[in-house]
């Protein structure tokens, strides 16, 4: 019999009932170190007092009104994002997938309004992930995500990861945009080198294309800058955001330049819940914390420390791990042992990591991770590695 919850996830037998900082309490009382943060969502950890305060205060005042009316919390969050980034304007969504939907629509509408309606194609990359909607799976294009769900939304051209010549060759009179994650998350923590991001920006400029960055997973302080593309010294035309921006409250956003957004006039897009007072009140509190030099310096410092421990772990367990990759607190351990076994052994040792493609386990801890937490991470991952090593030996 089909479970009451549609079984689209292979869930671990863990039921968390409470969270505080980087720690989760299981129903049986065990405390787990959370190095997954709900897949890069709980940027300020669990139950951060500022977020609990912002949400509670707003919950007592007003939950929902509709985008038919002014929403001051939405305006406040949009103003902050415009001040802090390349963007001139922001649309709020409830998830990364919805941000992808709007990014695609916005790019196509831009060219339509420019009198170039044939420019509908978006170049995307093998191994990418942009969500599970029809546009999202067509953008990613992998068989794993698309099989059985055709006909797919047309207009996506897929190029091998890192293949700049492939990008150039894929450009035609029908091309509208290039869409890329500065660091592939689901694809296995694969960073796009700064020189490649710069080259993609140049290719877009030379060919009159829009650059769409998907910072759903790598954005909001995760790499030690507010947004990952800042490391490369470039700016996109359109950027997809979600996950960390709500710190655990479902919130996403599309940020854009005035030009790129020029087609999105009244009536062209909407969302019942997008930009609701609850989400935006929390989003403001998240940004007030994350978007400060002191906070981002802290992320960089802790990231250096964690990475150093992980390098040691890889050196000590060459049968289990191959390499550390990623940036800031978006780190991946490429495994030699099956990554699912490493994640499961982590559960036995009360540490949460997240699997990704390319046999990688992801470490996407709360950005508020403390040095004591990092020490615990080392202890628990070391035990995990030893467990996997003995499993390999006895297999």
Rounded CA separation 124/130 (Å): 10
Q: How far is CA 87 from CA 197, 255, 271, 292, 293, in A?
A: 18, 6, 20, 18, 20
Residue 185 binds to ligand PLP (criterion: CB under 6 A): yes
Residue 97 binds to ligand PLP (criterion: CB under 6 A): yes
Could you say which of 209, 242, 331, 369 contacts ligand PLP (CB under 6 A)? 242
Where in 363-382 is the site for ligand PLP (CB under 6 A)? none
Burial class (CB in 10 A: 0-12, 13-18, 19+), 84: middle
CA angle 214, 218, 219 (to 5 degrees): 80
Residue 223 binds to ligand PLP (criterion: CB under 6 A): no
Could you say which of 34, 121, 186, 341 contacts ligand PLP (CB under 6 A)? 186
**# binding residues, ligand PLP (CB under 6 A):** 15
From the CB of 336, what's the least distance to ligand PLP, in Å? 25
Could you say which of 32, 91, 129, 156 contacts ligand PLP (CB under 6 A)? 129
Rounded CA separation 330/222 (Å): 6
Rounded CA separation 313/244 (Å): 27
x-or-dash string of contact with ligand PLP, 199-218, rule CB under 6 A: ---------------x-xx-
Rounded CA separation 395/356 (Å): 24
- Interface stretch with ligand PLP, choices 77-85, 181-189, 274-282, 308-316 (CB under 6 A): 181-189
Residue 96 binds to ligand PLP (criterion: CB under 6 A): yes
From the CB of 214, what's the least distance to ligand PLP, in Å? 5
CA angle 41, 44, 47 (to 5 degrees): 95
From the CB of 240, what's the least distance to ligand PLP, in Å? 6
From the CB of 158, what's the least distance to ligand PLP, in Å? 16
Burial class (CB in 10 A: 0-12, 13-18, 19+), 15: exposed
Q: Which is nearer to ligand PLP, 130 or 307 (CB)?
A: 130
DSSP symbol at 4: S
Q: Which is nearer to ligand PLP, 85 or 217 (CB)?
A: 217
Residue 249 binds to ligand PLP (criterion: CB under 6 A): no
Rounded CA separation 3/157 (Å): 37
Residue pair 202/52 in contact by the 8 Å Cβ criterion: no
Q: Which residues bind ligand PLP (CB under 6 A)?
A: 39, 95-97, 100, 129-131, 181, 185-186, 214, 216-217, 242
């Amino acid at each position: 019999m089909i479970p009451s919850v549609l079984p689209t996830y292979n869930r671990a037998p863990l039921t968390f009932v409470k969270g505080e900082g980087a720690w989760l309490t299981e129903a049986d009382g065990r405390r787990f170190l959370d190095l997954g943060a709900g897949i890069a969502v709980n940027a300020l950890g669990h139950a951060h007092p500022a977020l609990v305060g912002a949400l509670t205060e707003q919950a007592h005042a007003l939950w929902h009104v509709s985008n038919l009316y002014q929403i001051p919390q939405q305006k406040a969050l949009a103003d902050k994002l415009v001040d802090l980034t390349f963007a001139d304007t922001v649309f709020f969504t409830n998830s990364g997938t919805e941000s992808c939907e709007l990014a695609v629509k916005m790019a196509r509408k831009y060219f339509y309004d420019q009198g170039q309606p044939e420019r509908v194609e978006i170049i995307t990359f093998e191994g990418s992930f942009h969500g599970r909607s029809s546009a999202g799976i067509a953008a990613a294009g992998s068989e794993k995500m698309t099989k059985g769900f055709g006909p797919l939304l047309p207009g996506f051209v897929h190029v091998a990861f890192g293949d700049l010549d492939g990008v150039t060759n894929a450009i035609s009179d029908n091309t509208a945009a290039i869409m890329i994650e500065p660091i592939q998350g689901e694809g296995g923590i694969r960073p796009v080198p700064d020189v490649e991001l710069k080259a993609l920006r140049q290719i877009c400029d030379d060919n009159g294309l829009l650059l769409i960055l998907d910072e759903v997973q790598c954005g909001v302080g995760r790499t030690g800058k507010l947004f990952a593309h800042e490391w490369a010294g470039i700016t996109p035309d359109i950027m997809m955001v979600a996950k960390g921006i709500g710190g655990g409250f479902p919130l996403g956003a599309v940020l854009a330049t005035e030009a790129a957004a020029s087609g999105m006039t009244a009536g062209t897009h909407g969302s019942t819940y997008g930009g609701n007072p609850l989400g935006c009140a929390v989003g403001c509190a998240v940004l007030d914390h994350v978007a400060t030099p002191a906070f981002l310096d802290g992320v960089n410092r802790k990231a250096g420390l964690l990475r150093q421990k992980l390098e040691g772990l890889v050196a000590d367990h060459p049968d289990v791990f191959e390499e550390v990759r990623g940036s800031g607190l978006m780190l991946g351990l490429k495994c030699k042992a099956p990554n699912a076994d490493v994640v499961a052994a982590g559960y036995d040792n009360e540490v949460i990591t997240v699997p990704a493609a390319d046999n990688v386990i992801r470490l996407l801890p709360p950005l508020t991770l403390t040095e004591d937490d990092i020490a615990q991470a080392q202890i628990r991952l070391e035990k995990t590695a030893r467990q996997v090593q003995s499993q390999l030996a006895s297999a």
